[in-house]
Amino acid sequence: MRKLQQIAKAAAAAGALSLSILAPAAGAASLREQDDIVTVAGVEIVCRLTFPSGPARGAVLLLPGSLFSDVDGNYPSMQLKPHLYADLAAQLGERGFAVLRMAKIGPGTGSRTVDAQAAARHADFATRTEAAAAGLALLHKAAPARPLIVAGHSEGALVASLLASGADAKAIDGVVMLSGPALPILSLLRDQVAAMAPPGASSDMTMFDRTIAAIRAGEPLPAGAQADPQTAMLATMPAFSLAYLRSTDRFDPVAELARVRQPVLIVQGGRDGSVPPAHAARLHEGRRNLPTELARFPELNHFYKVTPPDMPPMQSMALDTTSDPAVAERIVRWASGLR
């Protein structure tokens, strides 16, 4: 990652883009990759473009989820390497699409603060839409192909909805919701915590609910939150992170997706322990009569890895196998109808 930061810094200073060749799958043509940065609210965010070997048949902006992820979709601070975004970029590139993927700001992701005062705005979830818009502009300049698709993963699916229904709506031909939640972030977190309770453990969520209520109100967390296993993580978060959660929680993903007028593809893994399959059904239902397709992959997890049944959620998250190319194939098939 240090090398990636050096590449991005050198590119910015020289006004040029660094180029590399991405190793293709067996029988596929070589892909080109180039690194760049966008600067949003005082922070440089690393981006990576993947180009097909021939003329692009479309372009995809790939937006990251909620955790601190690098440009490939790895989580250095958590020692997790699912590399979903690198996999998707290569798989879509092999099928003729140009792809821009972006890091999520945070430790180990390659992001760099250049203006600390301006960077305080990143505590507001709305700044994620600004970052997405900057990525969209970069993609359009580097690969002005249509259809232009915005694909958001996990929390990034909500960002994709906001981008597609905002000022850039006319530039976007379709939206892909990749494992997108149907609940506001703090409600989703409650469900996740309850689901992770070991057999026989107490189901009392009183302290968790009190802690969530305090975060939503912008008040100090209750005494005892740091000692409770359910809330210890929240209690150790800095004020910046709690403010981010509070601002994110104000958005209802179902309502925001209902405002998107472009065609939508909802992609869901059947063994997703982070955003269970019921979320995809809620998002789909909320679209009513708007053009929407739902693609389910029963054996895939949150990062689209083939996952054995009954594998514990944390073990599933740690899988580093190649993400199933069936997801990219489904996106390409859906995108062919957008022309």
Instruction: Quick: pLDDT tens for 123-142.
Output: 999 999 999 999 999 999 99
Over the range 98-134, which residues count as b (16 or more CB within 10 Å of their CB) and which as e? Answer: bbbbbbbbbebbbbbeeeeeebeebbbbebbbbbbbb
Question: Is 7's pLDDT higher than 70?
Answer: no
**Comparing C-alpha atoms, which of 209, 214, 327 is closest to residue 268?**
327
Average pLDDT, the chain: 91
Confirm or reject CATH 3.40.50.300 for domain 2-183+252-338, answering yes or no. no
Helix, strand, coil in percent for the chain, rounding step 5: 40, 20, 40
Q: What is the pLDDT of residue 1?
A: 34
Within 10 A of 295 (CB to CB), how many other CB atoms are there?
A: 18
Tens digit of pLDDT for each residue in 189-232? Answer: 999 888 877 666 667 899 999 999 999 999 999 999 999 989 99
Domain boundaries, the chain: 2-183+252-338, 186-246
- Total-model pTM: 0.90
All residues at 6 or more sequence positions from 335 whose CB lies less than 8 Å from its CB, including other chains: 58, 97, 147, 149, 174
Whole-number percent of the chain with pLDDT over 70:
89
